[in-house]
Amino acid sequence: MLNTYVVYVENKPGVLTRVASLFRRRAFNIDSLTVGRTEKPEVSRMTITVDADHDQARRIEANLYKLVNVLLVENITNQPAIIRDLAMIKVAATHDARSHVLELASVFRARVVDVAPDSLTIEITGAEDKIDGLLEVLRPYGVLEMVRTGIVAMRRGKSSTTAATTSTGADVTEEDVSHSV
Amino acid sequence: MTTKNMTGASILWECLEREGVTTVFGYPGGAILPAYDALKGSKIHHILVRHEQGATHMADGYARASGKVGVAVATSGPGATNMVTGIATAMLDSSPIVCITGQVGSKLIGSDAFQETDITGVTLPITKHNYLVTHASEVARTVREAFYVARSGRPGPVLIDITKDAQQTTAEFDWDAAKPQLPGYRPDLSPEKKEYEQALELIHNSKRPVILAGHGIIISGAMNEVRDFAERTGIPVALTLLGLGAFPASHPLNLGMMGMHGEAWVNHTIQEADLLLAFGMRFDDRVTGNLKTYASNAKKIHIEIDPAEINKNVKVDVPLVGDLREVLHELLPHVESIDRSEWLDSIDKLKGDAAVRDIQNLPDSGHLYAAHVINDLWRETRDVETVVVTDVGQHQMWEAQYYKHEKARSLITSGGLGTMGFALPAAIGAKVARPEAEVWVVVGDGGFQMTLCELATIVQEKLKVNIAIINNGFLGMVRQWQEFFYERNYAATPLLNPDFAKLGEAYGIKSMTVSGRSQVVPSVHQAQQHDGPVLINFRVEQEDTVYPMVAAGASLHEMIRRPSKIVETAGDE
């Protein structure tokens, strides 16, 4: 099954390679990996999704902790979380098709970010299946180009970044979990 | 705290001294020259090796013989890449070494400059951690962290790559003796109370338990605790290759080595056990054989410092993640003495006809067998403090079978990586670490030729190291596999060797060749009495085989034993 990890790492050169290399060396296949800044300049945050069974998932976590630059690892697969992917989809949209495409984009709450005589570029943010859904209905019109960021994820409720700078990872308890959209 | 303006190179040596380093093993070159230039102001003794691989094995041998961190130094590019085998060896056997490499000037990095390699990239998967240092001001903190990471938790190799300009430029030297601040690094985990209770329950309810004793016992210094535990619970102890010496060979509860070339009864015992207590070992495939059939009726308790080892190869019932010595301290007051005589008697029965099949018990046929050499070596060195350093192959397994190790750190061998060429340089490191000990290299004719250039290092450093070459004219273990699994097609395994005794003499080493069984003991005595290094070329039976053997992928109890017809033939002679 797909496991989703949130990994806090020290913002130092080469850390991404260390993490990616670990997965390759241990023969785990990364499905998606995103990395970016956090609210703390010395900490970067990765969202990694990996296909792994229960035991493998636990070992991935333990192996990640063996990297000196890794601060905190959370497997949020079974946690309430907000999971987002951003895609830009360039669709062939001549005069006749244009209104249909715009309508579909609006149904999916996607935004048109570029209009050209023969195409439209649509930006959509959401869970992967929502993006897949839009892609599916746009395909008949001719998808010219697509780019996706890979997923980013965040647990609902209490933040984990405080734990990311201490030496032990504090668990977030149930009472901290919110259920907002 | 006083601070003073120093070059990165001087800071490096100063920091090494403060980490307790007295000797480093290295080889100079352009990118590390500033460091070598600054060496003259240091109390550290530098040993010039003949190849950088040798430097890493020496640092490794030093670490394993002493329990301290070993240090190897090399230049950039080829100097650094020559270290790779030694680093990987240390990684797989959890040996704490720090490798220091020079790097081209920081402004040249990425330009494919002369002797430039991205050695931090190259060694990423085979180091516990590594560093690229580009400023003199980073040297002190990096050295502090590197030593801390190398020796704490599950030890391992750490590499520090220092650019030439970081060595040449100056910075305020400010030594912080406090524990380094590494927020993501957690070497000191400990089990939960509930896990201790579960473990105790399994121990007290088991009828046929076995302790599997691994390298972790030696690393954590838990020999006494393991002994107490075994004696108090009456549980017999089987050892891994790297565990040899962790539990005294002569102890009544000692079973001997397990695994691919372990004694048959040891493997049978494990297969019949109802509880395995894995102490600082990692269920390597050479130990378990086929995982599907491995100790299938046994519950498993795994005491291990590295959480990533839990359930990696074998699914365990109770993991106790922490330092073995500390975990045993917690467990010991609660373990109850249980009468295990029935179980121990049944293990005795498993020994069966083992003695009949033992080559040691065959009549003298005029042939010199490696087992005889090893056994004689053991008899003649058992009363003195001895460190045996082996290479990899048949002789390594015979050493493990026929040399009875009583003490920790009396055997140094490459277990995980199986690095041929390890023994000679590692023995140099061991001798430097423990000059009072009698150090013996036990090496095959194949592995010896991989790093024999270090004979020159032995002579230059006037080290009293005894070298026993187990010379069978073959890459013996590979030949054995060809014998069993490739229809005796001895492709590329016969060796045309030089006259090793003459070679030793060319280096100025007292050397001799022994081909008869009666000459073994006198030759060992000669080596012991000579005050310089000695090389003995033991010409042993060419096509001898290590028995028993669990074929790769076979079940642990399905061993290939020494054929009984050989026993009969030999008996007729």
Three-state secondary structure of B118-173: CHHHHCHHHCCEEEEECCHHHHHHHHHHHHHHHHCCCCCCEEEEEEHHHHHCEEEE
Burial string for B221-236 (b: 16+ CB within 10 Å, else e) reads ebbebbbebbeebebb
Amino acid at A2: L
Q: What is the ipTM of this complex?
A: 0.91
Pairing relationship of beta strands B237-239 and B209-213 according to DSSP bridges: parallel
Provide the pLDDT for residue B562. Answer: 84
Name the stretches of chain A with pLDDT < 70. Answer: 159-181
DSSP state of B474: B
Q: Is the dihedral of CA B389, B395, B397, B401 positive or negative?
A: negative
Looking only at the bridges linking them, the beta strands covering B510-514 and B534-539 are parallel
Among A150-164, B186-200, B309-323, whose mean pLDDT is lowest? A150-164
Surface-to-core class of residue B393, CB atoms within 10 Å of its CB (0-12 exposed, 13-18 middle, 19+ buried): buried
What does the pLDDT look like over B116-153, one tens digit per residue? 999 999 999 999 999 999 999 999 999 999 999 999 99
Tokens of B547: 């028995």
Active site residue B194: no
* pLDDT confidence bin for B537, thresholds 50/70/90: very high
Nearest to A70 among B121, B184, B312 (CB): B184
Query: Chain B: which residues have CB within 8 Å of chain A?
Result: 120-121, 124-125, 128-129, 132, 149, 182-186, 306-308, 310-312, 315
Q: Does the annotation count B300 as an active-site position?
A: no
CB contact under 8 A, A68 and B312: no
* pLDDT, greater one: B36 or B364: B36
Q: Which residues of B touch A70 (CB under 8 A)?
A: 184
Is B103 a residue of the active site?
no
- pLDDT for B462: 98
Averaged pLDDT, B202-217: 97
State residue B175's pLDDT score. Answer: 86
B466 in helix, strand or coil? Answer: strand
pLDDT score of B32 more than 90: yes
Q: Which residue has the higher pLDDT, B50 or B566?
A: B50
Query: Do the Cβ atoms of A66 and B306 come within 8 Å?
Result: yes
In this prediction, residue B18 carries a pLDDT of: 96
CA-based nearest distance A59→chain B, Å:
5
Residue B560: count of CB within 10 angstroms of its CB: 15
The confidence score (pLDDT) of residue B4 equals: 83
The beta-carbon neighbor of B308 closest among A18, A59, A70 is A59
Lowest mean pLDDT of A160-169, B45-54, B229-238, name the range.
A160-169
The answer to whether B164 is a known catalytic residue is yes
Q: State yes or no: cis peptide before B125, omega within 30 of 0.
A: no
Q: Give me the catalytic one of B114, B201, B231, B542.
A: B114
What number is the average pLDDT over the span B61-72? 98
**B258: annotated active-site residue:** no
pTM attached to this predicted model: 0.94
Phi, psi (degrees; rounded to nearest 5) at B254: -75, 125
Q: Which residues of A touch B (CB under 8 A)?
A: 9-10, 13-14, 17-18, 21, 25, 55, 58-59, 62-63, 65-72, 165-168
What's the Cα-to-Cα distance from A21 to each of A43, A46, A55, rounded to whole Å?
Answer: 20, 14, 20
Query: How many helices (DSSP H) and strands (DSSP E) are in chain A?
Result: 5, 9
Under the banding of pLDDT at 50, 70 and 90, the label for residue B365 is confident
Q: What is the pLDDT of residues B439-479, one digit of tens each?
A: 999 999 999 999 999 999 999 999 999 999 999 999 999 99
